Amino acid sequence: MRQVELTGIKNFECREVEQPAIGPGQAKIAVKAIGICGSDIHAYYGEHPFMDFPIVLGHECTGIIEEISGENTKLKKGDRVVLRPQRVCGACKPCRAGRYNICEKLEVLGCQCPGGASDYYVADEDLFYRLPDNVGFDEGTLIEPLAVAVHAVKRAFREVEGKNILVLGAGTIGNLVAQSVKGMGARKVMITDISDFRLDLAKQCGIGHTVNISRQELAEEIEKVFGKDGIDAVYECTANEAALNQALFLSPKGIPIVVAGVFAGMPHINLANVQDREYTLLGTLMYVEEDYMESIDLVKQGKICLKRLITQKFGLDRMADAFRYIEQNQDRVQKVVLDI
Ligand SMILES: [Zn+2]
Ligand SMILES: [Zn+2]
């Protein structure tokens, strides 16, 4: 079968390898689609702090079950599935508390161990979830980032219903956070960015209030849209120091601010306001199974638009072209998917 490996900075090798064999408790899929994510791009430039070469990418992965033990009651050969790319120890303190998304020994498939960028792929069978019939393989790759968004949303609230939400950043995660809170019943949702392209996409996905902070005054827009009640939470999805500081400057007292952006280096942030205004700063990482189930459910109910987010597709053997395309079209790219 074909397998594509990132062997060094901006260098992919596509080669023929043996098909993987399943072990006990595992399933083999015929891979159908792989999504390319921000962390893959960091790896491509050799700038990902927790990824090394060589690596087979592909943590956003869908396919068809090819082989699975007959004892599995949830899945069978021929089922269309999406991967939850987490390998955890099950024994550390976070794992014992059910928070295995922050396992001390967490390995992400496609980041610290091989992912799905190949014709066939084997993983533990409990990491595969059936795709709803109304979701294609391409869109299905977005269930993984959607679960990231759903987990982020839940860090601040059990119930989002009736809340006013501000999302900073309309990249894939920001877009999906905005769609998730809306799907879960938020009252009003506003999303910001500096790119009209990304804000237009958010609009097409049903996000009512978009603000281009390069030419609009965010404080004014917040007042216009949310009135005197203001916002109930902020989701920081830009990984930008200035954006986070803007949230710490504009937000009403006492609200949660969830940091979903993956910051590089050490930003200078206004901790005086965090203290004085009793903000709750919350980190968020990946997801647990419940977030996957909820994501799949939201999509099944038609509450999330995934298709619009896919702006380009390539074949598996054009992985290098796909990354070059992203590099050269940063302002016109949301999600790029590889069809296999
Ligand atoms: Zn991802
Ligand atoms: Zn653990």
Distance 284 CA to ligand 1 centre (A): 14
Q: Which ligand is nearest to the CA of 91?
A: 2
- How close are the terminal C-alpha atoms of the chain, in Å? 11
Q: Which ligand is nearest to the CA of 101?
A: 2
Distance 132 CA to ligand 1 centre (A): 20
Confidence of residue 182 (pLDDT cuts 50, 70, 90): very high
The helix/strand/coil state of 222 is helix
Q: Is 207 exposed, middle or buried (0-12, 13-18, 19+ CB in 10 A)?
A: buried
Confidence at residue 228, expressed as pLDDT on a 0 to 100 scale? 85
SS3 for 149-185 is HHHHHHHHCCCCCCCEEEEECCCHHHHHHHHHHHHCC
User: Can you tell me the distance from the alpha carbon of 224 to that of 185, in angstroms, rounded to the nearest whole number?
Assistant: 21
Confidence at residue 181, expressed as pLDDT on a 0 to 100 scale? 98
User: Can you tell me the distance from the alpha carbon of 56 to that of 61, in angstroms, rounded to the nearest whole number?
Assistant: 12
Q: Which ligand is nearest to the CA of 40?
A: 1
User: Can you tell me the distance from the alpha carbon of 161 to that of 123, in angstroms, rounded to the nearest whole number?
Assistant: 36
**CB-based contact 218:210 (threshold 8 Å):** no
Q: What is the pLDDT of residues 101-126, one digit of tens each?
A: 999 999 999 999 999 999 999 999 99
Taken in order of first residue, the domains within the chain and their CATH numbers are 2-142+306-339 (3.90.180.10), 149-283 (3.40.50.720)
Distance 63 CA to ligand 2 centre (A): 27
Q: What is the pLDDT of residues 55-82, one digit of tens each?
A: 999 999 999 999 998 888 899 999 999 9
